[in-house]
Structure 1
């Protein structure tokens, strides 16, 4: 599988996230406070809630429903009630295109 264009970099506002789907995989694409772009599994591991609807703060995203925050770098939950990490995918920026391959997990 190869990387797929999911959005334009210019579509991502700082400290915000959008939900995309690539080959049936739901992914939250997030632009953090440092203008870095991250791609993580979009479903909170505590409940079936879209993380893209959550709150971005620094390099974390918080699930709006129960307050679990996840590291955008590692996918690890930073507080309860979630205790399982979400997958983190490699992101490639080419010009204004944001590309993600859901088969390629980011190396930590």
Structure 2
């Protein structure tokens, strides 16, 4: 059975917002896209940059270093220079809490 950990209150990540959290020693970026929450590993597969520092453009996060983009819903690379996808993590909302699946 999957385990989840609280990472934020729903109000902490407004629509279009993002938050960096650490889960089991891994940097994870959590996004609110039109009221739905998504979580991806916060490391660009092109050069290791921190994605949460980039712009969230609809459902895509743009790496601030070289402009690579990733779909936060699936982790898919959508714009070069990145081509490898990112790990994604299950997210659920219980009452007013945003929870992300633990990595163990």
- The question of a shared fold, defined as TM-score above 0.5 by the shorter chain, is answered with yes
Give per-residue Cα distances to partners, 1:57-108, cap 9 Å, x unaligned. Answer: 111111111101101111011111111110111001011111111338xxxx
Query: 2-side partners of 1:3 and 1:68: how far apart?
Result: 29
Counterpart residue number, 2:13? 12
Query: 2-side partners of 1:64 and 1:102: how far apart?
Result: 27
Counterpart residue number, 1:80? 80
**What are structure 1's unaligned runs of at least 5 residues?**
none
Q: TM-score, normalised by structure 2?
A: 0.91
Query: 1-side partners of 2:15 and 2:73: how far apart?
Result: 16
- How large is the RMSD of aligned CA atoms in angstroms? 1.4
After TM superposition, where is structure 1 displaced by more than 6 Å over at least 4 residues in a row?
A: none
Q: Mapping of 1:1-108 within 5 angstroms?
A: 2-32=3-33, 34-103=34-103
- Provide the secondary structure at the position in 1 that maps to 2:78: coil
Query: 1-side partners of 2:91 and 2:10: how far apart?
Result: 11
Q: TM-score, normalised by structure 1?
A: 0.88
**What are structure 2's unaligned runs of at least 5 residues?**
none
- Provide the secondary structure at the position in 1 that maps to 2:103: strand
